[in-house]
Amino acid sequence: MYLVDNLGIGGRLNYVELHHNLGTLDPSGTLHAYRLAVPASRALAGEMGFVVAHTSGAIAGIAGESEQGQPWITVLQFWQAQDAGAAAAALHRALERVGGFEVVARVEVSVAEVRDYYDEAIVELLDDPDAAEAISSAANLADVTYALHGLAVEITGYPIALAAQYQALGCAFPNVDHLCQGDVHSDVMTAWVEQRLPEMLRK
């Protein structure tokens, strides 16, 4: 998983929040992802919502606990290339408001690198370069919001390659009887919240 491997996220996933009303994002921009250590005394859901709401350019928030019980929050920001220097300042202002948080890991990646990650995952899943290329071309990875949200959704355990494969269908579980949300990411998050995701992935 991209964020797990690059930010050292681990343990139990508790919350995921996606911002959908972002408009059209310029693919020349940059994704900034931060893992924050959170004092154990703080309410994780409320703190994550506050930080994400007060961080300019935030597109998603993820929160959980390490295997040692240490709470963490991950914030994903997207900034246009010319504004990249403002990303850290925006997060710093938000952290000043809440106090007590520490940035323990950070990664910066271009949209092109995110798309490469999808492509590699699709090839690995299908073991068929031609089929993988067809899926990669059909998947709406030109939609920057969709591509970046996929990194957050992947944390639930849903394979990012399947998200690309089923994106055109608008359904994350085409072979499972369920109340479809009409969107892969919404389908996955609904199943995760209902604690049905592992069971639905096995079918």
The residue from 92, 110, 128 where one domain ends is 110
What does the pLDDT look like over 166-191, one tens digit per residue? Answer: 888 899 999 999 999 999 999 999 99
CB atoms within 10 A of CB 23: 5
What does the pLDDT look like over 26-36, one tens digit per residue? Answer: 888 889 999 99
**pLDDT band for position 141 (50/70/90)?**
low
CA–CA–CA angle 187, 196, 12 (5° rounding):
100
Same domain, 10 and 86: yes
pLDDT on residue 126 = 78
Q: What domain range includes position 22?
A: 2-110
Cα(106)–Cα(15) distance, rounded to whole angstroms? 20
pLDDT on residue 29 = 86
Same domain, 54 and 69: yes
What does the pLDDT look like over 78-107, one tens digit per residue? Answer: 987 667 677 778 888 888 888 889 999 999
State the pairing for strand pair 58-65/12-18: antiparallel
Which helix H or strand E contains 92, and what residues bound it?
helix 85-98
Residue 135 pLDDT more than 80?
A: no
CATH code for the domain in which residue 25 is found: 3.30.70.100
